[in-house]
Structure 1
């Protein structure tokens, strides 16, 4: 598995089912191999192949890919669909992925290897395996999502408060190192905004005004809409920028330092 993926486990009907989420996708990958073990613990891969060889399954998978995958190979899909009525027709997850460039189903190697799928597809497979098992799978998955949502809200609140504390450190550094005593209130406000946008550029790739122009319907500002991960990085950027200001590093060089740091920090976000 990719080192940035997070593994969770749910246990519908006492069967351990692995889920992975890589951070870039809202939807999780659910193990079809584990679901298949509910019905056939000895040969789960054979059960998945039996499901995938049916015309109705191929039609469903093809429709899903057409909705979510711009690089889906429709020609290969049509050919597989036309061959699905043959008694000799066999379709594995690997063949489906290789021939159609599918993204809804993923074949994984390693300790938690097997066949995985996005939730829509995983729930469809679970229904084919057992309607009862599907109900328990959906219920356990929803409970997991709720726990994640509650934990993320708490973490977001903590990170937001931490960002506020670091913001005070940052503004004190601006006041002590960038603002001459003769500036008027408007000029002082501009100085603060400029430094805040330096951090916005490093983290979000745009200023507060550019973000507002891009998302006119959004509630709050760019930082109010940041993820937990982004707020975590922001607290560190504010501390780093405060030190750069104290060291009299010029704005251009300072921005380069901040961008390089956050790129390295965010590789697994």
Structure 2
């Protein structure tokens, strides 16, 4: 959707219609800036009826407008230069299906031309005015590009933030779950698997079955946070054994420790830097 913008050229306001693919400039404003209000329509009609202008417009349309009616254009070109030949922008558009020029009514109304055509019109009314017009138009486009770059950088920043949120959500999944009753009642062959179940929720053998393509074991694939907690759990488990707690009771306690410590590490800013 086109947006109306304005630039000031040698003290005169020129309206622009800025779209994604094409920019149009109000040549009515340009004509008024050159010769004062009231004569713009005549200036545009006198300009568009010349053979030079028609050849320029026709060539532009054939380059960019596949629906341009070439036969009707040739008819206008044959009449160009005759004293009786009169042509207006609206008649040009209606007859040839041109898209390089259009007429707009209401607020910001007037005859608008694609920037290529508007600059050509500028050459006809005043080469000096044309140069100032190009300068101000380019300044506007540079400002737009700067704003778009700022928006692009903002989007990149937001994407990074969203990515961080996503990775944090994944990390939350490595926080151990509360072990089930069946796990509590199960007797593990060694203390290493007791720790594995408390932290990872499965035994080393179960992990291997679920990850047949992995060359290492579950501890080789563990995160740095999990390895830190695992080391702490080994010391705590040794202390619980000395206190005479059963394997079932130790599993419950170790699971609680794993959950608490994993959450603490994942929320620690200093520890996060080690992962980056």
Give the RMSD, CA atoms, in angstroms. Answer: 2.4
**In structure 2, what is the Cα distance between the partners aligned to 1:11 and 1:185?**
71
Deviation at 1:168, TM superposition (A): 3.5
* Runs of 4+ residues deviating >6 angstroms: 174-177
TM-score (norm 1): 0.61
Per the alignment, residue 17 of structure 1 pairs with: 14
* More off after superposition, 124-133 vs 32-41: 32-41
Give a deviation string over 1:176-218, Cα, whole Å, max 9, x none.
79xxx977699xxxxxxxxxxxxxxxxxxxxxxxxxxxxxxxx
**In structure 2, what is the Cα distance between the partners aligned to 1:114 and 1:175?**
60
Q: Which runs of 5+ in 2 are unaligned?
A: 174-200, 202-206, 214-276
1:145 matches 2:156 = no
- Judged with a 3 Å threshold, the aligned counterparts in structure 2 of structure 1 residues 185 and 120 are, in CA distance, closer, same or farther, namely farther
Q: Mapping of 1:104-123 within 5 angstroms?
A: 104-123=100-119
Give a deviation string over 1:90-119, Cα, whole Å, max 9, x none.
111111111111111111122011110111
Q: Which runs of 5+ in 1 are unaligned?
A: 187-269
Deviation at 1:167, TM superposition (A): 3.2
- Judged with a 3 Å threshold, the aligned counterparts in structure 2 of structure 1 residues 169 and 44 are, in CA distance, closer, same or farther, namely same
Give a deviation string over 1:212-238, Cα, whole Å, max 9, x none.
xxxxxxxxxxxxxxxxxxxxxxxxxxx
TM-score (norm 2): 0.60
Q: Secondary structure at the match of 1:39?
A: helix
Give a deviation string over 1:46-75, Cα, whole Å, max 9, x none.
111110010100000000011111111000
Per the alignment, residue 98 of structure 1 pairs with: 94
Pick 1 or 2: higher relative contact order, CA cutoff 8 A, min separation 6.
Answer: 1
User: Bigger radius of gyration, 1 or 2?
Assistant: 2
Per the alignment, residue 78 of structure 2 pairs with: 82
Q: Secondary structure at the match of 1:8?
A: strand
Deviation at 1:162, TM superposition (A): 0.8
- Judged with a 3 Å threshold, the aligned counterparts in structure 2 of structure 1 residues 134 and 167 are, in CA distance, closer, same or farther, namely same
Q: Secondary structure at the match of 2:33?
A: coil
Deviation at 1:154, TM superposition (A): 1.4
Count of aligned residue pairs for this structure pair: 179
**In structure 1, what is the Cα distance between the partners aligned to 2:104 and 2:125?**
21
Per the alignment, residue 34 of structure 1 pairs with: 29
